[in-house]
Amino acid sequence: METQTQAEPRPANLGPTSILDTRQPEVLKLVHILPKGGISDHAWLQRVHTRLVNTLSPVYSLNEWQPASVTLRKGRGSCSQRMACLEAVARAAGIATRVQAFRVKGEFWFPRFRFARWFMPKKVLLLWPQFFLDRAWLSFDELYGSMEQLSAQAAHGFNNSVESLFEAVQNTPIDFAGKTCGLACVKPEHNLTRFVSADEGTFDSRDEALKRFGSLQFTVRGWAFELLYGDRKSV
């Protein structure tokens, strides 16, 4: 586990992993068809994210260990699976990544599962990507602008009923870390820290975090969820 103040990336923030299989052709293909062409890494990563939003259909799945290449091949994925795709493509292009591990209350997902809330445990592990851009670690929630900018332009907060997290970061503040606290432009619903029960710190990869904390997919609830909801369209 790494501290939040770590300044420079390490080899473990760039290399391939079981999930971030950067050397697979499906991942490398995106690097080749989306050349940087003189733009910044930050702008290029926005372009990659937009392409993934447009080409990967959102579905429900708890298969956190699915390799990014498999998600790209299928053309669909959960929020976590699509985040892993973005991380894998970033690493394949030489952009370091890591994840911040939040314990998010199960009630955060209630709007999506009004009639199946018994599936949700009290706490769910959420692995939130960070990218090393412009000599600093940038959180996924600020890929398209600072939290202040997003809060000022957002018509509403994230309610987890229509858009998924993966799409919403383009124009909605997704504030699990309390960045909006004290900002004059924010609405109460912008701050999602009320759903966070713990911040477990940052890890070199989502693989490392899952090895440390385990995955919901390997529980009875996870098995039942996959049986009823797995691969079903989520939005």
* Range 101-118 average pLDDT: 81
Greatest Cα-to-Cα distance within the chain, rounded to the nearest angstrom:
50
Q: What is the mean pLDDT of the chain?
A: 89
**Better-predicted residue by pLDDT, 117 or 60:** 60
Helix 206-213, helix 79-92: angle, nearest 10: 140
204-221 confidence digits (pLDDT tens):
999 999 999 998 887 877
Model confidence at 2, pLDDT cuts 50, 70, 90, reads very low
* Range 5-18 average pLDDT: 88
Rounded CA-CA distance 225/106 in Å is 14
Please say if the pLDDT value at position 89 is more than 80: yes
Closest C-alpha to 200, from 216, 215, 213: 213
Weakest mean pLDDT among 97-106, 116-125, 186-195? 116-125
Query: Domain residue spans in the chain?
Result: 11-229
Model confidence at 161, pLDDT cuts 50, 70, 90, reads confident
Tokens of 118: 């018994």
Model confidence at 5, pLDDT cuts 50, 70, 90, reads very low
End-to-end CA distance of the chain: 33
147-157 confidence digits (pLDDT tens):
999 988 887 88
Tokens of 135: 């000599």
Find tokens 């600072």 and name the residue: 146
Which CATH code fits 11-229? Answer: 3.10.620.30
Please say if the pLDDT value at position 117 is more than 70: no
**Better-predicted residue by pLDDT, 109 or 3:** 109
Please say if the pLDDT value at position 194 is more than 90: yes
Please say if the pLDDT value at position 116 is more than 70: no
Residue 129: strand pairing partners: 99
